[in-house]
Structure 1
Amino acid sequence: MLKRDIKVVENIGNVMKNEDFSGVVLVKEKDEVILESTSGYSNRAEELLNTVHTRFGIASGCKLFTAIAICQLVEKGILSFDSRLKDCLDVEFPNFSETVSVHHLLTHSSGIPDYFDEEVMDDFEDLWKQTPMYLLKSLRDFLPLFQNGKMMFEPGEMFHYNNAAYIVLGLIVEQKTGLSVTDYIETNIFNRCGMSDSGYFSLDQLPKNTAYGYIGNDDGTWRTNNYSIPIKGGADGGAYITAPDMVKLWEALFDNRLMGEKCTEMLLTPHVNVKEGVNYGYGIWINNHDDSIFKYHVMGYDPGVSFHSAYYPELGVKLAIPSNQNDGPFNVMKAIEEYFES
């Protein structure tokens, strides 16, 4: 057992120390928590410590929630994975291919233009110099950033990570349900999982027990990320979760409590190859080892936010590592995985 292996726990602790880690590490094997550790401050000015119940932003980690929402609508017969964008959303995209489908959007293979292309743009903060982040309060507020752009490639031609695609998926959820995508997710996913501490919160109205995101400056000082990310999260990123709540999400997903077995299987299918050993399902990364699935995982990075969470099917292990600074979770996760693979 991980928690009984003192050397392993010490090694993970050393990694956290070397990373100057700020956040939570939670590992659960079947029904037992085998590792729980916290470090750093949720509020540095007030010296409030992070706890296992601290809420953290997870950036793109919540694309999985949007994908689950779409799968639920498919299960209800409201749309299909083959539905074309032009047939299920009343928004004009003058330069988009008419063959773009829900499947393409879910798998980052649509080819539509992105408002933040992570392969060619280095700094997420630069976006808000022209478009003030405090004006982006709804999904439609993002449309001017990509709506009239040109296709990058033909739908289905390749994998190219795309934030705008998930904005579009969220707009589909809103049109088909009459709810904001955040209200839909909180009601139909978070509540169903028992994720009572998680939600989509505005940066200027953060509730109790929520970590501020911190960005290090070149001179060794720090600042919060209040002016570095959209004021409220949505379909492509920005939810706040606690580590125990994220574990509840994995448990509900794999117990088919969020949707039936057929749609769950579709979400977890490796639809697109990203690179050797790495595939993408619907809103979820899938890593293979020796022709078998080693882990399903999600991750998210924003200024002042870093997050990794995974489910290891052969081990029955769930892992959640949220952090309120730019990095740290990846190396902590790798240290834990080295123990699993030893």
Structure 2
Amino acid sequence: MLCSPQPKKLNYTDETAFPKGRIGTVTQKIISTINSNDSDTIKEFIETNFAEDFQNMAPMEAHQGHFLNYYRRTGGVSFHSIRTYDPKNEQETILILKDNNYGSWQKIRFSFVDEEGLLLKGIGFSPAETPTDILESNISPEELIEETKKAVEKLSQLDLFSGAILVAQGNDILYADAKGEASKRFHIKNNLDTKFNLGSMNKMFTSVAILQLVEKGLIGLKDPINQYVDETWLPSGITSKITIHHLLSHTSGLGSYFNETFWNSSRALYRSIDDFKPLVQGDSLAFEPGERFGYSNTGMLLLGVIIQKVTQQDYFKYVAHNLFEPAGMLHTDAYEMDQPVENLAMGYERSENSYGWTNNLYKHVIKGGPAGGGFSTVGDFHRFAMALVNEKLVSKASLDLLWTDYSNAGYGYGFTIRQSPSGQVVGHSGGFPGLNSNLDIFLDQGYVVVVLSNYDGAASPLAKKVSHLIDRL
């Protein structure tokens, strides 16, 4: 059952004075570069201020596109504060900014190459929680829905959101709507039963499936994975060091199979889990298992390998029978994108071509898997959330394992975890060119917010906007 409201103490503080020294210098550069909305300015900023390793992570056009898309989504940003989390990460600076389109809070993380210079090692963009110095007026549940509707309408009119949204409290759906087009080619509108690509949200399904096997005594969290993953995937010198716990918590040291080979290959090559084997073979560890958090698509893929090995079933059939069916998720699966699945949204990203858009058909995997890429609806995700909190899929003890932060990275077993003014929030987001998705389950307040979009970067900001409104109830 859902818990009664018990707001928790926040684990961060905000300092609103504009920073001095090298942090202030770089902060000003970052903000002015974003707000320039200019490709040449962005290029100069990247080439002048970032380490070579970061620059080589993607073509310059991709770096430029990331900044330009960030400006398009936010409408520009202004400085609000420097945030410090407890425990503090001494190597990272966190900017809190306010965006113009949503009136919401944005977070930019950056770190330096060394302790003296201005050269940056990396940068990350994400939504942020409300700053600690902001005292916003309370709103009623009715105002929550009214403000959510206004935000959806505004973003739809600006063509910043295409997709579907659902807000519920417990089993009661308070608001649900769909905007935009599932197909721009044929001008087919999205509706509440449209199936959207999930990106990494599939990681929740895989992790719940693993905990089901743990409950049945078929595997153990401390088991080294060489018991289940043979050397056609990775040498035992690597797999003997990694446990199932490491894979679930992204502390294995493995990376991502979305590597150069994948990007240069036909998507038609990858349908079954075993098809991804050539992308994993030859992988090495970025760090010793258990040493730290490192988000890993390969780790989640190997959990799918373990599920197949232990159950002697196809991964997709197992999750369909043991998760989707008991939860009542009738419109969720890893649908193959070259088949005529009804009411399946095509993903779109902005483009400089004459149409203004490019679909993601030739970028995305042709069939999703344990790490992401399946399809679902907002209604099915509401049913998934209810099945979880009502212990229909796994026990309370397993939920506690799923929703424990193991490395102070805001991540448990296949679920993100955060503390908001309204209490603990768990879920997961997903992103890829042409798609963005987000599930938030407010464990203390009982709210469930699902936003699925066939525009890249469009779901998470809207989900965060609703989260801020819930915090004000």
TM-score exceeds 0.5: yes
| Cross-structure match for 1:109 | 251
Letter of the aligned partner of 1:309 in structure 2?
L
1:273 alignment partner, SS class? coil
Match of 2:201 among 40, 61, 65: 61
User: 2: CA distance between counterparts of 1:111 and 1:2?
Assistant: 46
User: 2: CA distance between counterparts of 1:246 and 1:320?
Assistant: 7
Q: Conserved in 1, the CA contact under 8 Å of 2:229 and 2:239?
A: no
| Cross-structure match for 1:173 | 307
User: 2: CA distance between counterparts of 1:42 and 1:186?
Assistant: 24
TM-score, L = length of structure 1:
0.91
1:252 alignment partner, SS class? helix
| Cross-structure match for 1:246 | 381
Moved more, 136-145 or 87-96: 87-96
| 2:398 aligned with 1:263 | yes
Q: Conserved in 1, the CA contact under 8 Å of 2:267 and 2:363?
A: yes
Q: Conserved in 1, the CA contact under 8 Å of 2:426 and 2:442?
A: yes
- After superposition, the Cα gap between the structure-2 partners of 1:281 and 1:116, relative to the gap in structure 1 and judged at 3 Å, is same
**Residues 149-194 of structure 1: CA distance to partner in whole angstroms, max 9, x if unpaired?**
2111000001010000011000000111121211111111000100
User: 2: CA distance between counterparts of 1:7 and 1:81?
Assistant: 43
Deviation at 1:264, TM superposition (A): 2.2
| 2:78 aligned with 1:78 | no
| Cross-structure match for 1:122 | none
Q: Conserved in 1, the CA contact under 8 Å of 2:335 and 2:368?
A: yes
- After superposition, the Cα gap between the structure-2 partners of 1:44 and 1:86, relative to the gap in structure 1 and judged at 3 Å, is same
| 2:185 aligned with 1:185 | no
User: 2: CA distance between counterparts of 1:240 and 1:283?
Assistant: 17
Q: Conserved in 2, the CA contact under 8 Å of 1:19 and 1:328?
A: no
Match of 2:275 among 137, 141, 159: 141
Deviation at 1:262, TM superposition (A): 1.8
Letter of the aligned partner of 1:170 in structure 2?
G
- After superposition, the Cα gap between the structure-2 partners of 1:215 and 1:189, relative to the gap in structure 1 and judged at 3 Å, is same
Deviation at 1:3, TM superposition (A): 6.4
| Cross-structure match for 1:32 | 172
Q: How many residues align?
A: 329
**Residues 117-164 of structure 1: CA distance to partner in whole angstroms, max 9, x if unpaired?**
7xxxxxxxx654422211011111212212212111000001010000
1:309 alignment partner, SS class? strand
| Cross-structure match for 1:315 | 445
Structure ranking higher on relative contact order (CA contacts 8 Å, 6+ apart): 1
| 2:419 aligned with 1:288 | yes
| 2:177 aligned with 1:46 | no
User: 2: CA distance between counterparts of 1:315 and 1:260?
Assistant: 20
- After superposition, the Cα gap between the structure-2 partners of 1:336 and 1:34, relative to the gap in structure 1 and judged at 3 Å, is same
Letter of the aligned partner of 2:425 in structure 1?
K
User: 2: CA distance between counterparts of 1:70 and 1:45?
Assistant: 40
Letter of the aligned partner of 2:463 in structure 1?
M
Match of 2:288 among 130, 150, 154: 154
| 2:436 aligned with 1:302 | no
Deviation at 1:6, TM superposition (A): 3.5
- After superposition, the Cα gap between the structure-2 partners of 1:206 and 1:71, relative to the gap in structure 1 and judged at 3 Å, is farther
Residues 78-97 of structure 1 correspond to what in structure 2 (within 5 A)?
78-92=218-232, 93-94=234-235, 96=238
- After superposition, the Cα gap between the structure-2 partners of 1:273 and 1:293, relative to the gap in structure 1 and judged at 3 Å, is farther
- Structure 1: give runs of 5+ residues left out of the alignment: 118-125
Letter of the aligned partner of 1:314 in structure 2?
D
User: 2: CA distance between counterparts of 1:16 and 1:172?
Assistant: 42
Deviation at 1:60, TM superposition (A): 0.5
User: 2: CA distance between counterparts of 1:315 and 1:14?
Assistant: 27
**Residues 318-340 of structure 1: CA distance to partner in whole angstroms, max 9, x if unpaired?**
11101112121111112212211
- Structure 2: give runs of 5+ residues left out of the alignment: 1-140
User: 2: CA distance between counterparts of 1:246 and 1:8?
Assistant: 19
Deviation at 1:272, TM superposition (A): 2.2
User: 2: CA distance between counterparts of 1:179 and 1:21?
Assistant: 38
Q: Conserved in 2, the CA contact under 8 Å of 1:246 and 1:320?
A: yes
Q: Conserved in 2, the CA contact under 8 Å of 1:30 and 1:316?
A: yes
- After superposition, the Cα gap between the structure-2 partners of 1:129 and 1:267, relative to the gap in structure 1 and judged at 3 Å, is closer
- After superposition, the Cα gap between the structure-2 partners of 1:27 and 1:8, relative to the gap in structure 1 and judged at 3 Å, is closer
| Cross-structure match for 1:121 | none
User: 1: CA distance between counterparts of 2:324 and 2:200?
Assistant: 17
Deviation at 1:269, TM superposition (A): 1.8
| Cross-structure match for 1:233 | 368
